[in-house]
Amino acid sequence: MNALPYAIYVSFIGALLALIGGARSPATARVIALVTACVAWGISLVAAVQFVPAAGLQTLIDLPWVPEIGIHYYLAADGISLTLILLTGLAAVAGILFSWNIEERTGEFFALFLALIGGVYGVFLSADAFTLFVFYEIAIVPKYFLIAKWGSGNREYAAMKLVLYSFAGSALVLAGLLWAYAAGGAHSFALGDLAAAAAQFSRGEQIGMFGLVFLGFAILAGLFPFHTWAPTGHVAAPTAASMLLAGVVMKLGAYGCLRVAMPLFAAGFQFWQPTIAWLAIIGILYAGLVALVQDDFKFVIGYSSVSHMGFVLLGLAAANVQAVSGAVLQMFSHGVVAGLLFAVVGRMVYERTRTRKLVELQRLPLHRHLPFAAAVFVIAGLASMGMPGFSGFPAELTILIGAWQTSPKWALFAALGILVAAAFTLRAIQLAFFGSTGATIEGRASTGGLDPVRTDSAPAPYRPISLPEKAGALLLVGATVLIGLKPDLLLNLINPALQSSLFQHVLKGGAP
Amino acid sequence: MNVDYSELFRALRPETSLLIGALLMLGLDLTVFRQRSSADRMRLAAFIGALATVTAMIHVWSFGARGATFGQVFMFDAVAVVARLGLLALLLLTLCLVTAARCPRHPVEYLAILLFATMGFLLMAVAQQLLLAFLALELASLSLYVLAGYDKKRAASAEAALKYFLFGGMAAAFLLFGFSLIYGLTGSIELPHIASSLAAQAQSPLLSVALVMVLIAFGFKSAAAPFHLWAPDVYEGAPTLSAALVASASKLAGFTLFYRLLWSGLGGAAGSVSSGVGSPGWLPAAAVVSLLSLLLGNIGALAQGNVRRLFAYSAIAHAGALLLGVMAAGRSGPAPLLYYATTYAFATVGVFGVIAMIERTGPCDKVTDLAGLYRRSPVLAGCLAVFVLSLAGIPPLAGFFGKFVVFAAALKLGGVAGPAGWLTFLAIALSAVALYYYLLVLKQALVTEPAADRSARIATPAVAVFALLGAAAVLVVLGIWPSLLLGRI
């Protein structure tokens, strides 16, 4: 448990080593990166096993950092952070496995990747607003270079857009936190101290501060209408970065909302609650409908991420223990499933076929040539639709039940989103993998009379799925099935954390 | 006044070291080394200069913070110690970089003038008397004019020097006029007496005129809008390392001087910016200057294709943030201001140092001239990334923490609802704009492939690599452990 901070340090040291090792050979950098990510994940797994669930944050390390203005280097963990730490480790390992084929500036790629991971670990472990903010910003800049250098398509535009959105969000967070610090005369940035100071604020101040901090974080969580960075960024990013961006980095935003904005400014939250819920529902439906008409395979997944993150935000907005525990579970579930989807689209399919256009993929009977990719995508698709047996099911169900308790209307509209998700996922599966043999009208029309039998019988023109890809995919599939069958593994971590006194003013059904 | 010349001598040993160093290098150069190649002469002179600088640093450290010295003429407080050590470290960096950059004509005189300028800076950091403040400022400024025009065969350099000189001379005239009015109002040129005398009299129109004059000079010195017009041309035209000195050490010394002048001397006339338009004084005026600088600097930088002009506009924006630090210093102390100014100066010297190294192989004017730096010299590219990201305020680099403390202090200044609060929020929002142009620079250096005709590796002399790595290390270390600096002020 107390070794958890080393997950951060190991990642940063691994980043440096990968940079140095990459100058020798790409293989060295790959091995260093994989070992680093495995060690960090191992640390979090051991911590999760040893963890004794309890209400409230359990201090890991608390040192005075800048005593002149009361800043502490304060790391702590509870079930929520632990869940997300586990996800980060998993996504990091899988991401590195799926980046095994990066040949250009390999050392720098993995260095940036691990620096991003280190920042993410730091955010999830911080119990001091300043510490959290520092790690949050450390995680911003690597994203730019990962996308701008190793990305595809309109990558420089997408990278800049994504980074400016993130940074603008963090500027809002900074403004809100400094406001709370300056106005309250708080002598520290520890979340507990800030919450105590914030309790004294007038309702107007609370509304303003919550608005700034929540919006700042929610931009990164893909809140409608500030989500537009996400699809462009995810699509342009290299596979590992897409997996991490959609899988983990968006969770940073949702985590910030839950950990910082909501407990600190409970009165402000109550004012904004309906707005957030409706924006989340619009996000679910709008992004889902947009995903339904995309002709770029990766954009389908990009918009589906926004739609699924809408469920997370709705769970947070519903503000009862059930909905929020569902939201945290959904963060984990979506992290795994989005990683899997991006891995199939970006790495297994795109790097072999060099096209992401559904119309073109339709002509390739990919389920014959890449049966493994097709199988993985079908599983990921089922998980993404929220089929029982996969992690998406308990997560979305819990969120909907929780939302119903707060407002049945929210649950009804959000449930429509599940239908939309089923529609766009099935369409993508159909067009991308089962196109030419499928009997859709679209399919026949676009093959333009091409004889399907001939293409079918041609030898597989693609390199077979490599071992690292299979390992990464099995890892993620295993995680989504495991949590789908036994969600209690995580819920038993999450639920006690929601009984913490930090959440008592903001969550219904929490501690009295 | 209790005159003790031995104390004066002890207090000014750092300046004396620099003076002896400068005279020694000039003397030796004119006699013993006359026949050597100019590169040899420069290296020897730089070595003497570095020795003098290190000696001066030891003297600053051993003299320590003793408070007012030699009557009320000097103030050796913690601010002075930190600022003087920072200034000398910046001089040391510049000396290392000069030996590695393209050799100027008359290299030894160039180095000697660098030392004279730094003498002026050192005195600016301790001056607590109007006369000394003005003399120190002029010593520094006159040296900088010469440095800016040193490449006299290039029209741009001559233009830069002339513009700098004309603007600077005008600003000096304003400052002197303001000083004379203050003297007329208070009958003293010593800041503590001025403060007590001002406290005893009512706000007068004459004082307002004096304050405006002082602020104009301050605005010029710190390249704040609307007194910034010289900055882009000087940054662009002056020899690279002269521009480095103008952008870094000169800023640090200027902000230290004006912090002292405005708070120790004119603190009673500060007025307030807490609510509405505030009450009259120099604080509201400084707030306006800060606002203009933040807007003009950040928006102006977006349009720049020339890398030095870009950093000139970014300097204007930083001047706006530093002015916030000056305004907040009355309530929260000078620590945030000094931390920001010092770390900013190191990052700026670093940026100009990298540009100077690139210039060894060809011009480095446009942002696109940086293309492919990661391939041409990984060390320079890495250092540039540290410097630029520090300027952009990305943790864990020192620039981030500088912004954080300055903004935190500024928000406490007059409450969130007042003009200072809005100004701070604007500054925070504009930092996202700033990231855009900083990333454009880094994109060229780290992502874009080098142009076909400019893909040769850049050989960087070891001394410059050490200097740049040293500056980068300062930014990383101070960023992770800000208390190393904050705790000393």
Is the pLDDT at B61 greater than 50? The verdict is yes
Residue B157 CA to residue A325 CA, distance in Å, equals 65
Residue B86 CA to residue B402 CA, distance in Å, equals 15
User: How long is chain B?
Assistant: 489
Question: What is the secondary structure of A388-403 as a DSSP string?
Answer: TTSTHHHHHHHHHHHH
Specify whether the backbone of A462 is left (phi greater than 0), alpha (psi in -120 to 50) or beta. beta
Which structure tokens are listed for A375? 């199988």
Interface check for B429 against chain A (CB to CB < 8 A): the answer is yes
**pLDDT over 90, % of chain B:** 60
Lookup result for tokens 């080593």: A17
Interface check for B443 against chain A (CB to CB < 8 A): the answer is yes
Q: Which residue of B has its CA nearest to A170?
A: B432
Question: What is the secondary structure of B271-336 as a DSSP string?
Answer: -B-SSTT-BSSHHHHHHHHHHHHHHHHHHHHHT--BHHHHHHHHHHHHHHHHHHHHHHHHHH-SHH
Residue A377 CA to residue A419 CA, distance in Å, equals 19
User: How long is chain A?
Assistant: 512
Strand partners, B306: B366
Strand partners, A77: A58
Lookup result for tokens 């000169």: B250
- Chain A nearest CA to B328, separation (Å): 13
> With an 8 Å Cβ cutoff, are A164 and B428 in contact?
no
Cα A474 → chain centroid: 19
A76 sits in which H/E element: strand A71-77
Which structure tokens are listed for A331? 């963060």
> With an 8 Å Cβ cutoff, are A179 and B416 in contact?
yes
State whether the Cα torsion A44-A49-A52-A53 is positive or negative: positive
B321 closest CA partner among B407, B437, B408? B407
Cα A179 → chain centroid: 28
Is the pLDDT at A311 greater than 60? The verdict is yes
Which structure tokens are listed for B262? 């405005």
A454, burial (CB in 10 Å: exposed 0-12, middle 13-18, buried 19+): exposed
Name which of A66, A123, A188 to mutate to probe chain B: the one with the most chain B Cβ atoms within 10 A of its Cβ: A66
> With an 8 Å Cβ cutoff, are A171 and B432 in contact?
yes
Q: How many CA atoms lie within 13 A of B348 on its CB side?
A: 33
Question: What is the secondary structure of A80-133 as a DSSP string?
Answer: HHHHHHHHHHHHHHHHHHHTTT--TTHHHHHHHHHHHHHHHHHHHHB-BHHHHH
- Chain A nearest CA to B383, separation (Å): 15
Q: Are the CB atoms for B445 and B385 separated by under 8 Å?
A: yes
Cα B438 → chain centroid: 20
Q: Are the CB atoms for A213 and A260 separated by under 8 Å?
A: yes
Q: Are the CB atoms for B110 and B150 separated by under 8 Å?
A: yes
Given this model, what pLDDT does residue A509 score? 66
> With an 8 Å Cβ cutoff, are B428 and A178 in contact?
yes
> With an 8 Å Cβ cutoff, are A160 and B407 in contact?
no
Interface check for B425 against chain A (CB to CB < 8 A): the answer is yes
Q: Are the CB atoms for B312 and B235 separated by under 8 Å?
A: yes
Q: Are the CB atoms for B256 and B338 separated by under 8 Å?
A: yes
Mean pLDDT in residue range A147-159: 87
Name which of A9, A16, A69, A220 to mutate to probe chain B: the one with the most chain B Cβ atoms within 10 A of its Cβ: A69
Angle at A158 between CA B430 and CA A90, to 5 degrees: 105
B263 closest CA partner among B409, B140, B128? B128
- 3-state class (DSSP) for residue A59: strand
Nearest to B428 among A67, A148, A175 (CB): A175
Contacts of B421 in chain A (CB under 8 A): 179
Residues 6+ apart with CB under 8 A from A226: A165, A169, A215, A218, A219
> With an 8 Å Cβ cutoff, are B431 and A163 in contact?
no
Dump pLDDT digits (tens) for B151-190: 888 899 999 999 999 999 999 999 999 999 999 999 899 9
Contacts of B394 in chain A (CB under 8 A): 137-138, 140-141
* Residue type (1 letter), B421: G
B282 closest CA partner among B292, B294, B295, B272? B272
Given this model, what pLDDT does residue B1 score? 55
Q: Greater confidence, B202 or A220?
A: A220
Q: Is the pTM of this model over 0.90?
A: yes
Nearest to A134 among B335, B396, B421 (CB): B396
Report chain A's mean pLDDT, rounded to a whole number. 86
> With an 8 Å Cβ cutoff, are A178 and B487 in contact?
no
Which structure tokens are listed for A396? 């979305």
Contacts of B405 in chain A (CB under 8 A): 69
Residue A157 CA to residue A147 CA, distance in Å, equals 10
> With an 8 Å Cβ cutoff, are B415 and A175 in contact?
no
Query: Do the strands A58-66 and B74-76 form a parallel or antiparallel pair, or are they unpaired?
Result: unpaired
Contacts of A163 in chain B (CB under 8 A): 435, 439
Dump pLDDT digits (tens) for A342-360: 988 888 888 888 888 888 8
Dump pLDDT digits (tens) for B339-352: 999 999 999 999 99
Residues of A with CB under 8 A from a CB of B: 65-69, 130, 133-134, 137-138, 140-141, 144-145, 148-149, 156, 160, 163-164, 167-168, 171, 174-175, 178-179, 181-183
Contacts of B395 in chain A (CB under 8 A): 133-134, 137-138
Q: Are the CB atoms for B300 and B309 separated by under 8 Å?
A: no
Question: What is the secondary structure of A233-299 as a DSSP string?
Answer: HHHHS-HHHHHHIIIIIHHHHHHHIIIIIHHHTHHHHHHHHHHHHHHHHHHHHHHHHHHHT-SBHHH
Q: Are the CB atoms for A148 and A154 separated by under 8 Å?
A: no
Residue B296 CA to residue B316 CA, distance in Å, equals 8
Q: Are the CB atoms for A89 and A41 separated by under 8 Å?
A: yes
Q: Are the CB atoms for B293 and B319 separated by under 8 Å?
A: yes
Q: Are the CB atoms for A363 and A436 separated by under 8 Å?
A: yes
Contacts of B432 in chain A (CB under 8 A): 164, 167-168, 171
Residue A97 CA to residue A26 CA, distance in Å, equals 14
Residue B156 CA to residue B154 CA, distance in Å, equals 5
> With an 8 Å Cβ cutoff, are A66 and B411 in contact?
no
Which structure tokens are listed for A242? 């897409």
Q: Prior bond to A26 cis, omega within 30?
A: no
Interface check for B417 against chain A (CB to CB < 8 A): the answer is no
Which structure tokens are listed for B361? 């192989």
Contacts of A137 in chain B (CB under 8 A): 394-395, 400
Interface check for B134 against chain A (CB to CB < 8 A): the answer is no
Given this model, what pLDDT does residue A286 score? 93
Nearest to A163 among B395, B439, B483 (CB): B439
Residue B32 CA to residue B81 CA, distance in Å, equals 36
> With an 8 Å Cβ cutoff, are B432 and A138 in contact?
no
- Chain B nearest CA to A135, separation (Å): 8
- Chain A nearest CA to B429, separation (Å): 6
> With an 8 Å Cβ cutoff, are B394 and A182 in contact?
no
- Chain A nearest CA to B226, separation (Å): 26
Dump pLDDT digits (tens) for A233-275: 888 888 888 888 888 999 999 999 999 998 888 888 989 999 9
Contacts of B396 in chain A (CB under 8 A): 134, 138
Distances (CA, A) of A368 to A73, A365, A472: 54, 6, 21
Residue A149 CA to residue B439 CA, distance in Å, equals 13
Q: Prior bond to A464 cis, omega within 30?
A: no
Given this model, what pLDDT does residue B276 score? 54
Query: How does residue A439 score in pLDDT terms, banded at 50, 70 and 90?
Result: very low
B134 closest CA partner among B149, B154, B120? B120
Which structure tokens are listed for A42? 């191992």
Given this model, what pLDDT does residue B40 score? 87
Which structure tokens are listed for B487? 């705790």
Dump pLDDT digits (tens) for B457-468: 888 899 999 999
Given this model, what pLDDT does residue B372 score? 87
- Chain B nearest CA to A492, separation (Å): 35
Q: Are the CB atoms for A253 and A219 separated by under 8 Å?
A: yes
Nearest to B435 among A65, A164, A183 (CB): A164
Given this model, what pLDDT does residue A471 score? 87
Residue A87 CA to residue A45 CA, distance in Å, equals 10
Mean pLDDT in residue range B306-322: 94
Helices B130-148 and B107-126 pack at an angle, to 10 degrees, of: 150
Given this model, what pLDDT does residue A445 score? 45
Interface check for B447 against chain A (CB to CB < 8 A): the answer is yes
Dump pLDDT digits (tens) for A3-40: 888 999 999 999 999 988 888 888 888 889 999 999 99
Angle at A127 between CA A121 and CA A129, to 5 degrees: 100
Residue B307 CA to residue B369 CA, distance in Å, equals 9
- Chain A nearest CA to B60, separation (Å): 24
Q: Greater confidence, A463 or A424?
A: A424
> With an 8 Å Cβ cutoff, are B396 and A181 in contact?
no
- Chain A nearest CA to B478, separation (Å): 11
Q: Which residue of B has its CA nearest to A184?
A: B412
Dump pLDDT digits (tens) for B292-303: 999 999 999 999
Nearest to A69 among B394, B405, B421 (CB): B405
* Residue type (1 letter), B50: A
Q: Prior bond to B396 cis, omega within 30?
A: yes
> With an 8 Å Cβ cutoff, are A171 and B428 in contact?
yes
> Which phi and psi angles does A66 have, rounded to 5°?
-125, 80
* Residue type (1 letter), B74: F
B163 sits in which H/E element: helix B155-186
Q: Which residues of A166-194 are buried (b: 16+ CB within 10 A; e: fewer)?
A: bbbbbbbbbbbbbbbbbbbebebbbbbbb
Here the ipTM equals 0.91
Mean pLDDT in residue range B341-368: 92
Q: Prior bond to B419 cis, omega within 30?
A: no
Q: Which residue of A has its CA nearest to B432?
A: A168
